[in-house]
Structure 1
Amino acid sequence: MKSSFALKPSESFIFKTSMLLMLVFVIIFSSISELRDAFTDKTYVKTGLYDSMTLAVKGIMRKNEDTFYLLETIASFIGKNTAFDDKNLNGSLRKLAYGKDFYTLEVADSAGKAYCGDGTKRDISKQEYFMAAKAGKRAVTAIDGTGSDEESIVFSLPVYNEDGFAGMVACYYHSSFFEKMLSDYLEELGASTSSWVIQDNGTALLSCGNTFGYTNFYELLYSGTTVEKPSEDISAQVKRQKEGYIRFRRESINYYAIHKPIGLNGWTLVTMVPSKVIDENPAALTVRLVLLLKLMLILAAVALYIFSFERNKAARIRQSRQEFEALTNNVPGGVFRYRNDEKQTLGYLSEGLLHMYGYTLETFRRMFDNSFINMVYAEDRKRVQSEIAGQLAQNGKRKIQYRIIDASGKIRWVYDSGRIVTDKDGNEWFYVVLLDVTRFKNREEQVRESEERYRILVEETNSIVLESNNIDGTAFFTPNFKERFGFEPKVYDSPGTLFPREMIHADDLLKLEQMQRQMEQGANTIADELRIRTGSGAYLWYQISHHIVRDEKGMPIKTISRITDIDADMRQRVHLEDLTQRDPLTGLYNKAAVKALISEYLRLYGNSGLHALLFVDIDNFKAVNDNLGHLIGDKVIIEIGSRLPKPFRETDIVGRVGGDEFVVFLKNVRTKRFVYDKAEQICNIFRNAYIGENGSYKISGSIGIAFSNGANTTYEVLVEEADQALYSAKAHGKDHYEVYHRENR
């Protein structure tokens, strides 16, 4: 008996055909779903966009840190040196703002009275950023622009002095500056990309590429759009400062909206990208899939029994692979995957990766034994393995840098960004994007080498290097400056302001003044040798050279200085010069040195101050030689030579100009009485000197005094006048001093 369920041949054909067609439809639609899932996988969204947004966030935070560093420097300077009502404050603010990215600086006192770089004053005591400063906080605030139609971003922090809170310093950026920064970082995503910096309520603080006309991102997102429901509402994620993305459709265009916290004031960076940037245009993909569907339906209807399900499956796999390769080959750099096994066996390799290495696919697999670790430069392999293991233990992702060698033998630096994925069979695969960063690493190395050469040069030459920038108010100096002189230099705009005047040896102040005059007269390179007091209190010789950089108006904007220790050489040179200037018997200056030193001083300073020349002569010295002998006479000269300098200053000039004649030159004395007192002290030196075998022979001395008479005074004139006064003293009983009076000439 036949079963009631038996089918006729025609019915069997129809049944089998229907079943096969149903299987074909199931396979096709599952393939469409798989293809879409592959193209919209979160991995590929994050790979490009998240990295670009991370760079943008880092750029904003770097600008934030640089700005606050500058403001802290200004706040410290103002707190120590500047009154808020200083007449020069506006000029200082304009100078500090010159050449910066912000458009104005503002300083406020503790009551909120603000002084701007453009000369305006206003009350900001109720402003949010001032109240934050008053509470001891630094702040970044979005406000309407001051003196501008544009919105502004204000960076502010408190100023403190010895009494506590003294006020606030702030700088203003046009919002367009940060919008331009965002645009530059994200330009590689295409002109159709728009970026926003929003508050947690969705209000846009900054935007670039915003063609929708909305000022609130949430209004844009939920007005006239179809949003794929995420696991958590985007507004909740923004408030919790979580990163993520959603997909939505607006005006027949699919978009991704990726959001990432900036780490500042609860602000979030949102980037909207048309899906075609990531999906390779879903409309075109849909057309291809529809055509593929029609083709497969026709093939299934015409030759349903010709092609097996396995061949159809293989065709679909090949098609998916081709489309995947088309996508990955358009990624800048290279894309590959490898198995997480002992050999680290390579799987898919993109054309971009092969191009980066310079090999064909077959040669690549042969050269590196089809192993990932062999792709890495040999010296970096151990480090790479260690860094991958450490990063995967934290979050299953990795971001590392290492070197490779291309087909030409050239070493390249690459940036490796990847994550581990487990397939349906339980196999673990690393999916990796590789970018060539050789150019950036070379720049880093050049900077490092330059800094190292500079450090070695400074250390080897025992020099101190300084740079003072008058525009931004910053000063750079090598660490050995503070070690040598005991303080950190501030901004200096001339040779005369680098060191406090009291640190320069008194005899070298003239040189310092000459250097100052040279700079004021337009010299760009100035150098001289000065004695400077070190941190230990000793005066050492240094060679100081200044190179002045000027603007187009000839005003100094930067000074680069070099200070070299030449103390040992200078002291040797001074010692040798001193030997030629000294009297061999007394050690005082000889006649030639006395004339040269006094003549030079009178040439430079004769027209200012009061100076005196004392001509000293031992009374009856010939009798000493005749009665006691020349040996005793020499002892008298030596004794007087040792005592004579003691009442005088180190800067005064004391010398022996004849057998029993001495000259004392007093520089810049306060009164003539001071000179008379010194002359009396000399007379007492003679009166207290006894010679002979028993010290019973008494000697005395006579002194003639002449004072300088303005710019026309010369050494010869002073000596002649003092000699006449000396002659008068001897004629009037010796053992005293007399003064030359020009009116009695």
Structure 2
Amino acid sequence: MENVLETLVLADYEIVFRMDGRTGEYRKILAKPAVGSLYPDSGILGDEACLKYMASVYPKDRILLRTEMSPERLAETAKTGHRKIVSYRRRDPGGRLLYRKAVIVPVPDRTGFVCAIHDTTEEMRLRRENDRNLRMKDEGIRFIVENMCENFIIADTETHECTTYTNREGNISCKSRFDEQIDWFAENMVVPEERAYYRRYFDIDTLTGRIAEEGICRMTCSVIYKNDRRTFAITATLIDDPGKNEKPPFLFLCAQDITSIKRMKETNQLLLFHNQHDKLTGLLNRAAAEKRIREQLYAGSGKAGNTFILIDIDRFKHINDRYGHLTGDEVLRLMGESMRKVFRDKDILCRWGGDEFVVFVSGFADEKVMKSRLNILREKTGTFPDQANFPGITLSIGCVCVHREITLNRLFLLADEALYEVKNHGRDGISFKSLP
């Protein structure tokens, strides 16, 4: 018995009493030095020392402790032979709230009890702190869901059980299993043409394998939400359970409504496009083209070569005067369409102004190839199908091929010289200026 009692004390029990179930007498057996003087050495249950101790017990817990320590309840405990635990709170002389746990164990002959009082203040403090942290995290998740995203799912990758936090306005039905939740989203929110892909993407085994390789996975899907077709961005990742390293990780999914962001991005892209492109031809305007050409000239060494082409529509003013400005506009549109068909997507194509056009080909400077491409351009613009008795379109073209560093201004001057050589020889032709 003494070894048992010493073990109890070492296990952070403040004090241990022996109580006689027949007489109600109690006697202190072991106590830690720091607290021994706070408890009486002996007495009878209900005496002045007991009443004084009871007075320090928190009012809401006093009745419970008094009831559980009554002779009737102690007699019941003696009959069962099972230990009883009573948790309560009390205040020390300084008013500080303390947490205590009384463990009452019947002795083998069932004539009495051993009562050990355990200080659980630190344990309860940590528990309250953990509970508070959990509540704060839970409230944080709810705040994120309600203000920053539409729903948030935590799924156990082993059991596939899940918890879904939802935006209050979304009318989302929460399911207890991940596959059921995905099915509900697919049937009730995802647009029909994307449902099959959505289900395949969120197969939990496939998704966790993808995340294991990529870290974080993101996808977008179209949904019917709040009576409108909207775009959701869904982010998925795996997070280990910090308390159980051997347990498979949890799957976290967060769905965010990015419709307004997407529409704003599309609007900005459209505004940027109109700001950088000529309305009639769809080609870059001069300011945007100059910027891009200079960027490419400064970024490269020039050794690979560059080609700068200046194109002028012959007698364009005569076309406007003779056939009208609407026809003139159609000629400009045809010019833009033809240039896009002849040159590469990465080449810089520009309406420089009026009836002048520019092409910049970065990293390539072969006169023979360029002449071939420009002749194809002349063929495409040579016949204008929408105007009877229209003489056709001819082009005067000045082209500069260089294999060294050079400025845009210098390129333009050289191409302009080549262009006027064509004009001085009757227009409708190509002239090259080459620099070593």
**TM-score of the pair, normalised by structure 1:** 0.34
Find the aligned partners of 1:372 and 1:668 in 2 and give their Cα distance.
90
Residues 399 and 415 in structure 1, CA contact (< 8 A), matched pair in contact too = no
2:315 to 610, 614, 620: 620
1:444 to 130, 140, 165: 130
Correspondence 1:724 to 2:426: no
Residues 334 and 435 in structure 1, CA contact (< 8 A), matched pair in contact too = no
Shift of 1:658: 2.3
Correspondence 1:687 to 2:386: no
Find the aligned partners of 1:599 and 1:575 in 2 and give their Cα distance.
24
Correspondence 1:581 to 2:255: no
Correspondence 1:659 to 2:344: no
- Whichever residue aligns with residue 705 of structure 1, its letter is C
For residue 699 of structure 1, what is the aligned residue in structure 2? Answer: 393
SS of aligned partner of 1:654: strand
- Whichever residue aligns with residue 421 of structure 1, its letter is P
Find the aligned partners of 1:364 and 1:489 in 2 and give their Cα distance.
57
Residues 281 and 336 in structure 2, CA contact (< 8 A), matched pair in contact too = yes
For residue 230 of structure 2, what is the aligned residue in structure 1? Answer: none
The 1:348–1:674 alpha-carbon spacing in structure 2 relative to 1, beyond 3 Å, is farther
Correspondence 1:363 to 2:324: no
- Whichever residue aligns with residue 642 of structure 1, its letter is E
Find the aligned partners of 1:334 and 1:707 in 2 and give their Cα distance.
102
Shift of 1:348: 9.2
Residues 691 and 697 in structure 1, CA contact (< 8 A), matched pair in contact too = no
Partner deviation per Cα, 1:603-638 (whole Å, 9 max, x = no partner) = 344657543222122233233234323321122112
Residues 399 and 415 in structure 2, CA contact (< 8 A), matched pair in contact too = yes
Shift of 1:668: 3.6
For residue 184 of structure 1, what is the aligned residue in structure 2? Answer: none
Show structure 1 runs of 5+ residues with no match: 1-36, 53-187, 189-277, 280-313, 337-345, 376-392, 463-481, 492-497, 500-532, 538-563
Correspondence 1:47 to 2:8: yes
Find the aligned partners of 1:587 and 1:607 in 2 and give their Cα distance.
29
Partner deviation per Cα, 1:425-458 (whole Å, 9 max, x = no partner) = 5688875534212442354356546755775787
The 1:667–1:567 alpha-carbon spacing in structure 2 relative to 1, beyond 3 Å, is farther
Find the aligned partners of 1:738 and 1:48 in 2 and give their Cα distance.
104
Find the aligned partners of 2:363 and 2:274 in 1 and give their Cα distance.
27
**TM-score of the pair, normalised by structure 2:** 0.54
Find the aligned partners of 2:101 and 2:130 in 1 and give their Cα distance.
18
Find the aligned partners of 1:448 and 1:615 in 2 and give their Cα distance.
69
The 1:405–1:335 alpha-carbon spacing in structure 2 relative to 1, beyond 3 Å, is closer
SS of aligned partner of 1:685: helix
Shift of 1:397: 6.2
The 1:671–1:709 alpha-carbon spacing in structure 2 relative to 1, beyond 3 Å, is closer
Shift of 1:719: 1.6
Find the aligned partners of 1:574 and 1:638 in 2 and give their Cα distance.
22
1:641 to 331, 336, 340: 336
Find the aligned partners of 1:601 and 1:623 in 2 and give their Cα distance.
36
Shift of 1:328: 3.2
SS of aligned partner of 1:644: helix
Partner deviation per Cα, 1:63-87 (whole Å, 9 max, x = no partner) = xxxxxxxxxxxxxxxxxxxxxxxxx
In the TM superposition, what are the counterparts of 1:310-709 in structure 2 within 5 Å? 321-324=26-29, 327-330=30-33, 360-364=52-56, 367=59, 368-372=61-65, 404=89, 406=91, 414=99, 416=101, 418=103, 420-421=105-106, 424=109, 433-437=118-122, 438-441=124-127, 443-445=129-131, 447-448=133-134, 451=137, 460=147, 488=211, 535=219, 569-605=264-300, 609-669=304-364, 675-693=370-388, 697-709=391-403
The 1:365–1:456 alpha-carbon spacing in structure 2 relative to 1, beyond 3 Å, is closer
Structure with more contact order per residue of length (Cα contacts < 8 Å, sep ≥ 6): 2
Find the aligned partners of 1:347 and 1:366 in 2 and give their Cα distance.
19
Find the aligned partners of 1:334 and 1:706 in 2 and give their Cα distance.
104
Shift of 1:424: 4.1
For residue 180 of structure 2, what is the aligned residue in structure 1? Answer: none
Find the aligned partners of 1:651 and 1:568 in 2 and give their Cα distance.
27
Residues 335 and 381 in structure 2, CA contact (< 8 A), matched pair in contact too = yes
Shift of 1:335: 12
SS of aligned partner of 1:584: coil
SS of aligned partner of 2:282: coil
For residue 179 of structure 2, what is the aligned residue in structure 1? Answer: none
Find the aligned partners of 1:625 and 1:425 in 2 and give their Cα distance.
118
Find the aligned partners of 2:102 and 2:420 in 1 and give their Cα distance.
100
Partner deviation per Cα, 1:641-681 (whole Å, 9 max, x = no partner) = 23422444444322212221111223344966664554344
The 1:398–1:362 alpha-carbon spacing in structure 2 relative to 1, beyond 3 Å, is closer
For residue 407 of structure 2, what is the aligned residue in structure 1? Answer: 714
Partner deviation per Cα, 1:711-739 (whole Å, 9 max, x = no partner) = 4x222122222222223344556545333
SS of aligned partner of 2:120: strand
Residues 423 and 429 in structure 1, CA contact (< 8 A), matched pair in contact too = no
For residue 191 of structure 1, what is the aligned residue in structure 2? Answer: none
Find the aligned partners of 1:417 and 1:684 in 2 and give their Cα distance.
102
The 1:364–1:536 alpha-carbon spacing in structure 2 relative to 1, beyond 3 Å, is closer
The 1:455–1:675 alpha-carbon spacing in structure 2 relative to 1, beyond 3 Å, is farther
The 1:436–1:708 alpha-carbon spacing in structure 2 relative to 1, beyond 3 Å, is farther
Residues 312 and 356 in structure 2, CA contact (< 8 A), matched pair in contact too = yes
Find the aligned partners of 1:682 and 1:671 in 2 and give their Cα distance.
17
Residues 56 and 91 in structure 2, CA contact (< 8 A), matched pair in contact too = no
